[in-house]
Amino acid sequence: CTLACREDNTRMNCKMTTYAFNILFAYFTFLLVVMPNADMTHLVNAQVTDSRIVGGKVVNIIQYPHQVSLRERNASIPEDPYDHSCGGSIYSDRIIITASHCVDDTESNELMVVVGTNQRDGVDGVIVPVKEILMHEEYDEELEDNDIALLVLAAALPINNFTIKPIELTEVQPQAGDIATVTGWGLNAEGQIPDFLHEVQVPIVSNVICDERYAGGITDAMLCAGLLDVGGKDACQMDSGGPLLVNGKLAGVVSWGIGCGQPYYPGVYANVWYLLPWLRATIAEVEEALLNEDY
């Protein structure tokens, strides 16, 4: 099976950590030895190559004006030196919210953000370099726990509340069954990288059920969503760091999952509600530094 962070697959296509592998290996052994007659369909399905936002449709940036395309320097393509690698969300004219795994081991001068466009490539939107990367201090790259980060921009975004607009953070914990919306430029059902922004709706899945499906490893800092036992709709590679909205507010950040759109495995997101204390404290520090012109 493949445990994949939903990041640009040129950097991190399929990442199986030692911790997760041990958990899944023990789980599979239990099913094979203790429950030899167990239905193994979901284990076979989990082996399907990550290929699919999945089951979504094209949308205009005016529908999701907080959406960010995070571009990373790619020296191997001189004619287009910055590739879309992850998504993100506009919090303010100088602050972007994304996933820690999108920017881990990356220097700020290797990144820029593009806003105000639904196109994955090109420069028809507004381009701003990243000044500083602030990852959650307790981010665990093996568990993908606390998978959230802030990007401080080198210049202010031209907020127009039409194609470029901040997103509000949720102040309530999403409940199982709530309908969430995920947006991004991730791989689609045909395994292709779309040129235009897509959206998909998926229900929130309780952490208890999600933890059972993953045989452990789901923490309070994570949020799960997907069509259980149906599949076909999910985030995927290159959607990482992008927004999951509930009631029009940022409730999750695309993080990881086994496959994309798999019936047995929901997608996993950083839980914005649980991470609010860190977000508020870190944002306050950044805003004070900006006020003092320390950036």
What's the length of the chain? 295
pLDDT confidence band for 243 (50 / 70 / 90) = very high
Average pLDDT of the chain, as a whole number: 83
CA distance 15 to 214: 15
Active site residues: 101, 147, 240
Which two three-digit tokens encode residue 185?
């430029």
β-bridge mates for residue 169, sequence order: 250
**Domain positions in the chain:** 65-166+276-291
Q: Quick one: average pLDDT of 78-85?
A: 75
242 φ, ψ (degrees, to nearest 5): -80, 175
pTM summary value? 0.83
AA identity, residue 29: T
The per-residue pLDDT for range 46-72, each reduced to its tens digit, is: 333 233 366 678 999 999 999 999 999
pLDDT at 49: 28
Structure tokens at 258: 């086994």
Spatial distance between the Cα atoms of 59 and 264, rounded to a whole number of angstroms: 28
Q: Which CATH number fits domain 65-166+276-291: 2.40.10.10, 2.20.25.90, 3.30.300.30, 2.30.110.10?
A: 2.40.10.10
pLDDT per residue as tens digits for the range 25-42: 444 333 333 333 333 333
- 63 in Cβ contact with 74 (< 8 Å): no
C-alpha span between 169 and 162 (Å, rounded): 18
Tens of pLDDT, residue by residue over 111-168, are 999 999 999 887 789 999 999 999 999 999 999 999 999 999 999 999 999 999 999 9
128: its two tokens: 């701003």
Report the pLDDT value the prediction gives residue 147, as an integer from 0 to 100.
99
**Strand, coil or helix: 102:** helix
For the segment 86-106, what is each residue's pLDDT rounded down to a tens digit?
999 999 999 999 999 999 999
Residue 85 has pLDDT above 60, yes or no: yes
